[in-house]
Structure 1
Amino acid sequence: MGIILPVTLTAAAAAAIINIWLSLRVGQMRQATKTVHGDDAGGPLTRRMRAQLNFVENTPFVLVLIAAIELSGRGNPWLAWVAGLYMLGRVAHGFGMDAETGTKPRMIGVLITMLALLGLAAVAVLIAMGVM
């Protein structure tokens, strides 16, 4: 018996690891700023918290779309590449959020996220319409 939804399983595992990494970065900044509860009013802790929350806001949609496309049987081999690129973009965004001003890693992460969401949504609609 083959593995069911290997791309989705791999992407979900990568997402869990990235979320742990982002969470640890928040914890490190909490210790550095001695902020037990809440945030630091727009400082480095807030930026790291937003990086993690932004990840949590977008990743479920990406994972659902990846799973639906994979279940339809129309995701080989490009779907794994999109999933991997999305995860790399989210790591870049996490690093980019450390700066007080906009950075290339943050911009790249945002662009990859938006393109992945838009592209996966478009493919899902085309599959649902029977075009793909």
Structure 2
Amino acid sequence: MITAVYAALLAVLFVVLSVAVIRQRRRLQVALGSGGHSALQRAMRVQANFAEYTPFALLLLFLAEYSGLTGFWLHLLGALLLLGRLSHAYGVSQDPEPLK
């Protein structure tokens, strides 16, 4: 049940990231690709990276919960995943990237 809480929170974040891509596409009038626009490219990569890695992390969190890992550790791992995704979204969307 703990995994479901973090899955729901991360789903909300994914919707927010998707809306950011849609807004950039509408503003720049780009249907496919990035059209050479750095801001759109960054928004696309933030969303794509989220879609590539978050499902696997949630699967691992679910398996840990199913295996009997205590609530403390599940919440810690879930919170770290959420904070990591938020940090990634913020960092990659900045120009220039803070850690580059």
Sort the TM-score into its range (normalised by shorter chain): 0.7 to 0.9
Gaps of 5+ in 1: 1-5, 108-132
State the alpha-carbon separation in 2 of the partners of residues 63 and 75 from structure 1.
Answer: 16
State the alpha-carbon separation in 2 of the partners of residues 82 and 36 from structure 1.
Answer: 37
| Correspondences of 1:19-34 after superposition (within 5 Å) | 19-34=14-29
**Under a length normalisation based on structure 1, what TM-score does the superposition of the two structures give?**
0.68
* Paired amino acid for 2:96: T
**Under a length normalisation based on structure 2, what TM-score does the superposition of the two structures give?**
0.88
State the alpha-carbon separation in 1 of the partners of residues 17 and 75 from structure 2.
Answer: 22
**Residue 44 of structure 1 corresponds to which residue in structure 2?**
39
Mapped pair 1:57 → 2:52: yes
Bigger mean CA deviation after superposition, 47-56 or 30-39: 30-39
Higher relative contact order (CA 8 A, sep 6+): 2
Contact in 1 for aligned 2:18/2:47 (Cα 8 Å) = yes
**Residue 123 of structure 1 corresponds to which residue in structure 2?**
none
Contact in 1 for aligned 2:2/2:71 (Cα 8 Å) = no
Aligned match of 2:64 in 60, 63, 69?
A: 69
Deviation of the 1:11 alpha carbon: 1.2
- Provide the alpha-carbon RMSD of the alignment: 1.7
Greater gyration radius: 1
**Residue 122 of structure 1 corresponds to which residue in structure 2?**
none
Gaps of 5+ in 2: none
CA shift digits 1:10-31 (9 cap, x unpaired): 1110121010000011111112
The alignment of Structure 1 onto Structure 2 pairs a total of residues equal to 100
Where do 4+ consecutive residues of structure 1 move more than 3 Å? none
- Structure 1 residues 75, 65: CA separation in 2 closer, same or farther (over 3 Å shift)? farther
User: Kindly, what percent of the aligned residue pairs are identical?
Assistant: 33
* Paired amino acid for 2:23: Q
